[in-house]
Amino acid sequence: MIDDTVLAKPFATAIEGLAWVFSSQEQKTVYGLPVVLLIWTNGTLRIPLGMRLWRKGGPSKYALALELLSYARNRLRCRPAYVLFDAWYPSTALLKRIRDYGWYFVCRLKKNRRFNGHAVRHHRRHPYWAEVGWLSGGLKVLVVRHGKKYYATNRLTLAAVEVRQLYRVRAQIEELIRVCKDQLGLTGCQARSERAQTHHITCCLVACCVLERERQDRRLSIYKLRRQLSCKGRSYALPALERLKSAA
């Protein structure tokens, strides 16, 4: 799963890399540090695989997403069943890269995306349909409309209901980002250098891996487990980190 988030720093003035960016979560422009994330999940367990900081004037979020996918394939040797992302990410370059890797994707489309030569919202007037066709850039996909939402996949044999069920799994990355912000202090670093910010984000993602591993083993909610780790101190937390290290 690919997604991005903004680490809001509304009162910061000297932190490197801050910019005014639109936050889809808050539906407004926010001053902060944009981060692109790549997360693996099997539907229950969530593991952060990589992150990239977006800088104003630097590579686009699409380019950073391509870097993360390349890292997952070439360095981590991942073979995902599907790559999931929302309507902000299905650029032609990203979709072609996933196709060239031999992977399948399931994503949302914006209503003005070109499908069979015209905007997908004008393709049919009926609010519920599924059809195989061509996106701009020469990509053959199955497009599913469900109400006001449009989904696309390059696995043409899927049924419409299967496409929507697969896309729902993408909610796992939003939940993980919320946990990192609310429980692990993802937005709390006030260091000025971009390097220190990167280290802080990385530590938060490692802590998230510890929580995910222990949550599965102890059959606790991630919020209750985090409280136990905080209250019992190092005697409880360090063995959890060692178990994660040995498993990796």
Question: In this predicted model, what pLDDT tens digit does every residue of 162-207 receive, in sequence order?
Answer: 999 999 999 999 999 998 998 888 998 889 999 999 999 999 998 8
Residue 42 forms part of a structural domain: no
In this structure, are 161 and 183 located in the same domain?
no
In this structure, are 164 and 193 located in the same domain?
no
Residue 68 forms part of a structural domain: no
pLDDT at 24 over 80: no
Domain boundary among the residues 168, 196, 229 is at 168
Mean pLDDT of the residues in the chain: 89
Domain boundary among the residues 146, 168, 190 is at 168
For residue 238, the model assigns a pLDDT of 62
Residue 150 forms part of a structural domain: yes
Residue 70 and residue 28: Cα distance in Å, rounded?
Answer: 31
For residue 10, the model assigns a pLDDT of 84
- Residues with Cβ within 8 Å of residue 42, at least 6 apart in sequence: none
Residue 99 forms part of a structural domain: yes
Average pLDDT over residues 57-70: 94
Average pLDDT over residues 37-55: 93
pTM: 0.87
Fill in the amino acid letter for 154.
N
Q: Which domain holds residue 219?
A: 176-247
Burial 113-150 (b: 16+ CB within 10 A, else e): bebeeeebbebeeeeeeeeeeebeeebebbbbbbeeeb
Residue 158 and residue 71: Cα distance in Å, rounded?
Answer: 28
In this structure, are 162 and 215 located in the same domain?
no
For residue 248, the model assigns a pLDDT of 57
Angle at alpha carbon of residue 52, lines to 191 and 54, rounded to 5°: 75
In this structure, are 138 and 191 located in the same domain?
no
Domain boundary among the residues 168, 201, 234 is at 168
CA distances from residue 213 to 60, 76, 209, 224 in whole angstroms, order as listed: 33, 19, 6, 14
In this structure, are 158 and 194 located in the same domain?
no
